[in-house]
Structure 1
Amino acid sequence: MAGTKSPVGQTTDSFGCPFDKLYKDQSLQGADISFFRKGTRDDRIEQVVTPASDRGFAIGISTLAGHTRRIFHERHATTHVFDEDSLYIRNLAEPYRADLIGAFDMLLLEISPASLNKIAQEADFSGVTMLEAQTASKDLVLANLVRALIPALEHPEEASKLFVDQLATAIGTHLVQRYGGKMQISALRSRKLSRSHEALAKNLLLENLDGDISIMDVSRACNLSRGYFIRAFRETTGVTPYQWLLNERITRARELLKGSEVSLSEVAISCGFADQSHFTRVFTNVVGTTPGHWRRNA
């Protein structure tokens, strides 16, 4: 996906970067978090401006080393060099103006104030309304979590809504825990799903083999908060909801491959994959060999 078309009449994106400078412009919506990937090969982009707004907070993670930003404050300017996996967090309520020096490939998150409050409540950090500002600091945990979304950003037609929501919840929890500036109000205690909730959740997941169901849909059916549900499901089953569903899809695929003569494309669709290519990539990654090779040796 090389990029998306700019809205008619707009010359810059919502972060102030000129559309004609972007060779990567990808987006994806997760649970309470909007994800973007922005990339440019230009050595310098001057006066990138984001006016103050009530949009909330922007978090950026650099996938490349060597990008530099000269940020202009009211009476002075500061220069920051971004290494690979370094990040920034800024409050969009404050105006922003900067010169961007060097090519960059940034993974961006945007969280509204209401979403931040919701994430904080579900993570047992009630009262968090702000994220601490950061510029060119390192957070490998956050970087690795957000990097896991790159395939979904590049191939949104193959992205599992369940996977994206689940990862968004983990990212949001990490952000409020590390940058929310509040002590945890209630300690995380051992939590497991009741048998009825476990059965209900698994049935809902199996009814949506392609993963096109949100964590919120499943947690609401169980009358649980999203964060509580994910932790309880993991403690009950040993894996996350997405991992459990992926294992079920691969198990079903193996049964079809071994016990029938249906084509690989039919197996792919029957097991909730976008197409045969998507099925082959996921199966090979999980099993260690292609579906065709596995079938021949089964």
Structure 2
Amino acid sequence: MSAPLISQLNGEAFSAVRVRQSMPDPDAIVEIPQVDAFSIIVQLQDFQAHRLWRGRRLSYAGGYRQGAVSLPFMGDQLRCQHRSGYDNLRLILPRQTLDELQSEQGGKRVDVFRYDAGGVEDATLYHLAQALLPALQRPELANRLFLDHMLMAIATHSIERYGRVAPPSGRLHASLTAAQLAVAKELIAHHLDGELSVERIAQECSLTRSHFSRAFKQATGMAPHTWLLHRRVERAQALLRAVPPMPMAQIAQACGFADQPHMTRVFTRLVGEPPSAWRNRHQASVFLPR
């Protein structure tokens, strides 16, 4: 294990820290201080394994590509675990800084940054981060004009691409990030028995129930329950193709339906024919001469 190498640059309106560590302790959990600020993290090399918690919830587990960017709000209760070597640049933008920039430009207050938890490759922020590296090595040579220019470039780009602005009512537009949508779909797919509440999914996405429900329907065209029924039917179709044939009651149970009649009703409504007819037709097509 090795100690992290830290280079830091403190400006009046933001700070930048480069942290490199070739062999971190993979079991150590780092508690991140809570402040009313946003962190823009740019990966300077591939980062193979990382974990991030918001409160007690594991928010992300995986790696990041070189050039990937994440923008967490530091007011959340964040903890992380570096499970492989890494090299990244972390820009800290206080909320007051963003509010002042938005006010100067006649824009609305930024509520959060919306991004993929696994990082999104952003060439603009990556090159801006590269431009900051010499200043981190020699902070005394970094002049105010340069730092102001970098602040404006970084903040403006981040707000335009990732900023989630609260409308005058204070309510956020109903939308899900790609990561939130993936989490929701995975949770539903792994709970075909339906023993999963909207509240639980919303909590995993850090949203209220009403916001999540609206956002999920906007993203998929279906309410969460309807999406669950479609996944059950897809699973049933896969099992109906099984050879030798599985009993209908067993398929219904495996797909989370209450019983065989329940499966028949839902299957017929969504597919247009009963599961028995669907199976006969598809099994017949398998044995047709070519």
TM-score (structure 1 length as normaliser):
0.50
**Partner AA of 1:140 in structure 2:** A
Measure the CA separation in 2 of the matches of 1:80 and 1:123.
Answer: 37
- Counterpart of 1:166 in structure 2 is 149
Measure the CA separation in 2 of the matches of 1:82 and 1:51.
Answer: 19
**Partner AA of 2:83 in structure 1:** I
Displacement, 1:133? Answer: 4.7
**Conservation of the 8 A alpha-carbon contact between 2:31 and 2:80:** no
- Counterpart of 1:142 in structure 2 is 125
Alignment of 1:232-243 (within 5 A): none
- Residue 57 (structure 1) aligned with residue 46 (structure 2): no
Measure the CA separation in 2 of the matches of 1:182 and 1:175.
Answer: 12
- Percent identity of the aligned residues? 22
- Counterpart of 2:67 in structure 1 is 85
Alignment of 1:107-122 (within 5 A): 107-122=89-104
**Conservation of the 8 A alpha-carbon contact between 1:64 and 1:83:** yes
Alignment of 1:138-217 (within 5 A): 138-182=121-165
Displacement, 1:72? Answer: 3.6
Structure 2: unaligned runs, 5 residues or longer: 168-290
**Partner AA of 1:113 in structure 2:** R
Larger Rg: 2
CA 1:159–1:94 in 2, change beyond 3 Å: closer, same or farther? same
**Partner AA of 1:121 in structure 2:** S
**What is the RMSD computed on CA atoms of the aligned residues?**
2.7
CA 1:183–1:46 in 2, change beyond 3 Å: closer, same or farther? same
Displacement, 1:150? Answer: 0.4
CA 1:44–1:117 in 2, change beyond 3 Å: closer, same or farther? same
Displacement, 1:164? Answer: 1.6
Displacement, 1:148? Answer: 0.5
Measure the CA separation in 1 of the matches of 2:94 and 2:69.
Answer: 18
Measure the CA separation in 1 of the matches of 2:50 and 2:132.
Answer: 25
Residue 39 of structure 1: which of 2, 17, 20 is its match?
Answer: 20
Deviations 1:44-93 (A, max 9, x none): 44343335623311111010013321224535563121111111111111
Displacement, 1:31? Answer: 5.2
TM-score (structure 2 length as normaliser):
0.51
Displacement, 1:146? Answer: 1.8
Q: Secondary structure at the match of 1:28?
A: strand
Structure 1: unaligned runs, 5 residues or longer: 1-17, 185-298
Q: Secondary structure at the match of 2:30?
A: strand
CA 1:146–1:75 in 2, change beyond 3 Å: closer, same or farther? closer
Measure the CA separation in 1 of the matches of 2:143 and 2:35.
Answer: 30
Instruction: Provide the aligned length of Structure 1 versus Structure 2.
Output: 166
Deviations 1:225-283 (A, max 9, x none): xxxxxxxxxxxxxxxxxxxxxxxxxxxxxxxxxxxxxxxxxxxxxxxxxxxxxxxxxxx
Measure the CA separation in 2 of the matches of 1:157 and 1:168.
Answer: 17
CA 1:159–1:82 in 2, change beyond 3 Å: closer, same or farther? same
Measure the CA separation in 1 of the matches of 2:45 and 2:79.
Answer: 22
- Residue 125 (structure 1) aligned with residue 107 (structure 2): yes
CA 1:54–1:139 in 2, change beyond 3 Å: closer, same or farther? same
